Amino acid sequence: MSVDVEMDERALREIYLPAFKAAVREGGVLCVMGAYNRFRGDFCCENDYLLNHVLKGDWGFRGAVISDWGAVHDTRAAVLHGLDLEMGTELPYDQFHLAQPFLDGIRRGLYPVALLDDKVRRNLRVMLATGAFDPPNPGGPSGAINTPEHQAVARRVAAESMVLLKNDNRALPLELEKISSIVVIGEDAVRLQCHLGGSARLKAFYEVSPLEGILRRVGPRANVTFSQGYSSRLTPGAPDSATLIANAVRAARSADVAVIVAGLNLARGRNYTDIGLVQGDDEHFDAEEADRKDLGLPYNQDELIRSVVAANPKTVVVLVSAGAVEMGSWLGRVPAVLQAWYGGMEGGNALAGILFGDINPSGKLPCTFPVRLSDSPAHALGAYPGRDGVERYSEGLLVGYRWYDTRPVAPLFPFGHGLSYTRFGYSGLRIVREGDPSTTPAWAVRFDVTNIGDRAGAETAQIYVRELHPGVFRPFKELKGFSKVFLEPGEKRTLSVTLPIAALSFYSPGLAAWVADKGEFGVMVGSSSRDIRLQGPLRLERTTVLADRELGRQ
């Protein structure tokens, strides 16, 4: 609500703005929401540089800028610095900063009517585009929700997102014909998450928990039991942590396979009532308005995992969390680890499909999992939690995998990592110039991917670029494209990913433009940022300078 973020211009343009720029220039979004915090001294909803100069100026955004709820603080700054629609200010509606105070300012000549016209025009564009003025059509087609088709999509999305982190000796998938008993351990196996999550909560029609998904999949073919293992709220009279672990160990020792569903939990959020699903919890780890204190698993889950795998080496760990957790004390002892995130309404069915081999996992990590929190850039540099209300992003361009690959620092699991129940071979890299040589250059990166395993599966090939002799500081390598392909056993497919001139460029604050320097570049194709399979050279014959508007069209 109050922190002031400071970062250099290259980090802003190269790291933090590209996703927003793509949403505007390529996705054609109608609205952009301003954040709560300050950026370089000004609140984001009243930030002339971000809203007027970059968003509406450089990118040509013609839609409406909307505030986050209660994120506006000053009428003059909001009016002049790019806000078009104010939401959630905790005042009577006519006292909102863009309500009566704005009107009074117009009447007194403090603000030009042209500013009001522009804000009205932007809001009208959104309303027209979304059919707000369309006449009602009672006899027209009606929508549908929660159909079998919707449920299938939810299941597929959950399954494709899950990441197989480790799978020694093909511990997964589980073969039911060889298993007579399974114990499922962990509170997150029965916790329902969809109704939680603060302002990101979902009103799901139903939610299949991990345990329910496993029970549905196994049916009568094996005996499935449940042991809580840990509790997020130890109430008077309830078993303590040591008792819960001891119970889980006994259950694991007598089962053929143990599946531990460990991890974190979503926040209920302020003003949300407990609707009676599992137990409420006093402490939340994936939440808005708060940071996790560390990357450890809470509620003695590390001890639980160590104890269970000691009792039963055939233990699979499923992690339910929004991000990385430390695993050092038990990772070497556990044969298989699956990152399941928060799977949504069909998450339990998707999880069971992967565990028992109906679905071949194909997810890749969208972030780096560090060995320990102190390895991450903000903590390694002592930049967190800032000083005197100012948070300086002193890592600059070295965000995520760029930090770990440039320093270098060994990650627990690298960006882009994700295993499969099959294997993929890479071959035949070709880097071919595309388009008219007299125009802005682009290249096609072509290569072959072959399923060299014994079952169908999908692979996401990643293309990284490195400038070999940069004139300015650049990360060791940067992701510039990817392509996902589904292959039957033995099938080979040629993939092609286009590298525009933008893929070679960096932002020059002095020129206020993007620059691709003449020189040599390396193109790397891999299965993750640390698993590079193919490499080849690319040469740029002349230095190219492009303004942000021009680069957006590449």
Give the model confidence (pLDDT) of 448-504 as tens digits: 999 999 999 999 999 999 999 999 999 999 999 999 999 999 999 999 999 999 999
Q: At what angle do helices 347-355 and 210-218 cross, to 10 degrees?
A: 50
- Determine what percent of the chain is predicted with pLDDT higher than 90: 84
133-142, 327-336, 343-352: least confident range: 133-142
Q: What are phi and psi of 116, to 5 degrees?
A: -65, -45
Give me Rg for the CA atoms of the chain. 26
125-139, 353-367, 373-387: least confident range: 125-139
**Beta carbons of 461 and 498 less than 8 angstroms apart:** no
Cα distance from N-terminal residue to C-terminal residue, the chain = 36
User: Distance (Å, rounded) from C-alpha 485 to C-alpha 493?
Assistant: 8
Question: According to the model, what pLDDT value does residue 275 have?
Answer: 33
Q: One of 4, 8, 48, 68 is an active-site residue; which one?
A: 68
Question: How many residues does this entry show for the chain?
Answer: 554
Residue 279 pLDDT exceeds 60 = no
Question: According to the model, what pLDDT value does residue 435 have?
Answer: 76
Could you identify the residue written with the tokens 């808005």? 288
User: Distance (Å, rounded) from C-alpha 529 to C-alpha 537?
Assistant: 18
Question: According to the model, what pLDDT value does residue 347 have?
Answer: 97
* 446-461 pLDDT, tens digit each: 999 999 999 999 999 9
Band of pLDDT at residue 137, cut at 50, 70 and 90: confident
Question: According to the model, what pLDDT value does residue 240 have?
Answer: 92
**Beta carbons of 347 and 358 less than 8 angstroms apart:** no
Q: What are phi and psi of 25, to 5 degrees?
A: -80, -35
Long-range contacts of 27-30 (CB under 8 A, 24+ apart): 29/63, 30/63, 30/64, 30/125, 30/126, 30/129, 30/130
Question: Residue 231 belongs to what H/E stretch?
Answer: none
Band of pLDDT at residue 553, cut at 50, 70 and 90: very low
User: Distance (Å, rounded) from C-alpha 86 to C-alpha 93?
Assistant: 10
Q: Is 412 left (phi over 0), alpha (psi -120 to 50) or beta?
A: alpha
Tokens at residue 475, please?
A: 């990360």
Of residues 395 and 277, more confidence is placed in: 395
Question: According to the model, what pLDDT value does residue 285 have?
Answer: 80
**Beta carbons of 543 and 515 less than 8 angstroms apart:** yes
Question: According to the model, what pLDDT value does residue 293 have?
Answer: 86
User: Distance (Å, rounded) from C-alpha 127 to C-alpha 124?
Assistant: 5
- Could you tell me the domains of the chain? 4-129 (3.20.20.300), 148-355 (3.40.50.1700), 373-406 (no CATH), 424-551 (2.60.40.10)
Of residues 284 and 337, more confidence is placed in: 337
**What is the average pLDDT score of the chain?**
93
Mean pLDDT, rounded, for 327-337: 97
Question: According to the model, what pLDDT value does residue 440 have?
Answer: 74
Asked whether the bond before 18 is cis by omega within 30 degrees of 0, the reply is no
Band of pLDDT at residue 273, cut at 50, 70 and 90: very low
**Beta carbons of 211 and 189 less than 8 angstroms apart:** yes
Per 3-state DSSP, what percentage of the chain is helix, strand, and coil (rounded to 5)? 30, 25, 45
Question: According to the model, what pLDDT value does residue 552 have?
Answer: 47
Nearest to 532 by CA among 469, 465, 450, 443: 465
* 92-106 pLDDT, tens digit each: 999 999 999 999 999
The DSSP code sequence of 485-544 is EEE-TT-EEEEEEEEEGGGG-EEETTTTEEEE-SEEEEEEEEEETTEEEEEEEEEE-S-E
User: Distance (Å, rounded) from C-alpha 491 to C-alpha 300?
Assistant: 46
Angle at Cα 160 formed by Cα 372 and Cα 267, nearest 5°?
A: 55
Q: What does the H/E/C string look like for 520-532?
A: EEEEEEEEECCEE
Tokens at residue 314, please?
A: 């055939």
**Beta carbons of 392 and 7 less than 8 angstroms apart:** yes
Q: Examine the residue annotation and report whether 68 is marked as an active-site residue of this protein.
A: yes
**Partners of residue 182 on adjacent β-strands:** 224, 257
Count of alpha carbons within 13 angstroms of residue 453, beta-carbon side: 16
Angle at Cα 409 formed by Cα 406 and Cα 410, nearest 5°?
A: 125
Count of alpha carbons within 13 angstroms of residue 298, beta-carbon side: 19
User: Distance (Å, rounded) from C-alpha 448 to C-alpha 491?
Assistant: 10
Tokens at residue 482, please?
A: 């990817």
Residue 243 pLDDT exceeds 80 = yes
Residue 436 pLDDT exceeds 80 = no
- List alpha helices for 68-180, DSSP H: 75-80, 100-107, 113-129, 148-161
Question: According to the model, what pLDDT value does residue 200 have?
Answer: 67
User: Distance (Å, rounded) from C-alpha 247 to C-alpha 185?
Assistant: 10
Question: According to the model, what pLDDT value does residue 108 have?
Answer: 97
Tokens at residue 535, please?
A: 């490499």
The DSSP code sequence of 47-84 is -IIIIIIIIIIIS---SEEEEPTT----HHHHHHTT--
